[in-house]
Amino acid sequence: MSKSQPRQQHQDAVSAERTSLTHVAAKFKFTALRDYLLEPEANYKWTKMPNFKLNAKEALDLASYLYQASAVKALPTSQGDATIGQTLYNQNYCANCHSPAQQPKVAIQNFNVGCLSRNTHIDLHMQNRQKWQMSAFLQQEMMTFSRVATHEFAERQINQLQCSSCHVRDDKPSSWASNVSSVQDLKITHKDKGHLDQTRPPLTYTGEKLTPETIGDYLAGDLRYQTRDWLLAKMPAFPARAELLSAGMALQHGQYAQQENLAVNLQLIPEGEKLVSAMGGFSCVICHDIGAQKATAAFEVQGVNLKYSAKRLTPDYFLRWMLDPIHIDPTTKMPKYFDDQEKSAMPVFDHNASKQIEAIHQYLYSIE
C-alpha cells in the first residue's frame, strides 16, 4: 500500500459522512435556503441539520456563498399541473408516510398498496422480501417505537449527529484535523482569537462532567453564557433531541437525578477566593476569567470562565478534575496542584486537598 492510500481512504471516509452541497441551488429557492439556515428544524424538528443560531445577516451571507458555490444552478420554474400532481399523490399513497399541509398524518391503513406494495413504481432500493418484512414489522411491532431506552438513544444520536466531527470521544478521534486548511483560514481571519488554543472539549466524560440541566441547555441552544468564547467553532443546537439526549448522556455515567443546590458555607467563601487568586493561591486568575474579572495572562491558552463552573459541573466531577486534571484529559493545559496524598503546597486547611477544593467550589458557586 502506498503512503498516499491511507490518507485517501481517510478523505473518502470523511466525504461519505458529509452531505454534498453541489446541488444546493437546484434544491432550494434562495429565500428558502436562508430561512432553513436560520431555523433548520422549523419544518421537521428531528432534522439532523444543526441550528447554529445564526443571525439574519450571517444566514443571508452563508446562503449567498452556498448559492454562488453550487455546481448545479437553480432549475427553471416548474410549469407542472397541480391537479395531476394531486392525482399522483393519491395514486401512490404518499399520505401513508407524508402529511400534506394542514392535514394530520395518518397511520398506514393498507400495506398492499403504496410504496411497500409489490407493484409500486416507487423505487426504495428494496427487494420484495424486504418490503414484506418491513410490512410485517410495522403491522405487529409498532409498540417498539414507543419504548425509549434513553442511554441507547443517546448513543445512537451521538453517532448519527456526527459529534465526532468536532469532539474526541473515548478512543475515537475527531475529524477536525481533516479540515486543517479551513481551520487555518479561520485563524487568520479571526486574529483576535485565532492565536488561542482551538481544542474542543472531549465528550468522553460529558455525562458525569456536566449536570443534566446544563447538557440540556447546551443542546437546546438555551445556554445564556459562553463557556469558551474564544473558540472559532460554534456549538450547534438540536432542540428536539435536547431532553432525551441530555438524560441519556447522564444515564451513561450513572447520573440519574437533577443536581441539588449546594449547601452554602459562608465561612469557606473567603478562603476559596484567596485560593484562586495570585496572592497566596493557585493563580487560577492567570488563565481564567472569573465573572467580569478578566484573566491576567491568557496569551495562548485560555480557560473557561470560572463563574459558571460550580453550577455547570457536577460536584463529584469538580473534585476529581481539581485533584488530577491530566488523568481525566491528557491533552489539558491545566496543571496538577495536588500530590498523590491529596496535599497541596498551600498551608490553608493543613494542606488538605478536599477542603481546599470545597472552599474553591463554595466561592465559585457564590459568584452572581
Q: Provide the mean pLDDT of the chain.
A: 85
pLDDT band at 1 (very low <50, low <70, confident <90, very high): very low
State how far the Cα of 199 lies from the Cα of 329, in Å rounded to an integer: 12
Torsion of CA 30, 31, 34, 40, to 10 degrees: -110
Three-state secondary structure call for residue 352? strand
- The mean pLDDT of 282-298, rounded to a whole number, is 88
Q: Under a CB-based contact definition with an 8 Å cutoff, are residues 367 and 291 in contact? A: yes
pLDDT at res. 321: 95
Q: What sections of the chain are H helices per DSSP?
A: 4-16, 24-27, 30-38, 56-69, 82-91, 128-140, 150-160, 180-189, 191-194, 206-209, 212-220, 242-251, 268-275, 309-312, 315-323, 325-328, 353-366
- The mean pLDDT of 360-364, rounded to a whole number, is 95
The answer on pLDDT for 310 being more than 80 is yes
- Which of 66-70, 193-197, 248-252 bottoms out in mean pLDDT, i.e. has the lowest? 193-197
The answer on pLDDT for 219 being more than 50 is yes
At 64, which amino acid appears?
Answer: S
Residue 355 is placed in which grid cell?
A: 477542603
State how far the Cα of 328 lies from the Cα of 98, in Å rounded to an integer: 47
State how far the Cα of 56 lies from the Cα of 62, in Å rounded to an integer: 10
- The mean pLDDT of 85-106, rounded to a whole number, is 72
Q: What is the architecture, at CATH level 2, of domain 268-366? A: Orthogonal Bundle (1.10)
Residue 205 DSSP class: T
Domain ranges (residues) in the chain: 17-69, 90-100+107-146, 150-251, 268-366
* Residue pLDDT, tens place only, 201-210: 999 999 999 9
pLDDT at res. 257: 67
Please list the residues that pair with 352 across neighbouring strands: 343
Nearest-5° Cα angle at 116, 112 to 117: 40
Torsion of CA 142, 144, 145, 148, to 10 degrees: 160
pLDDT at res. 298: 66
- Which of 39-43, 53-57, 146-150 bottoms out in mean pLDDT, i.e. has the lowest? 146-150
Q: Under a CB-based contact definition with an 8 Å cutoff, are residues 284 and 363 in contact? A: no
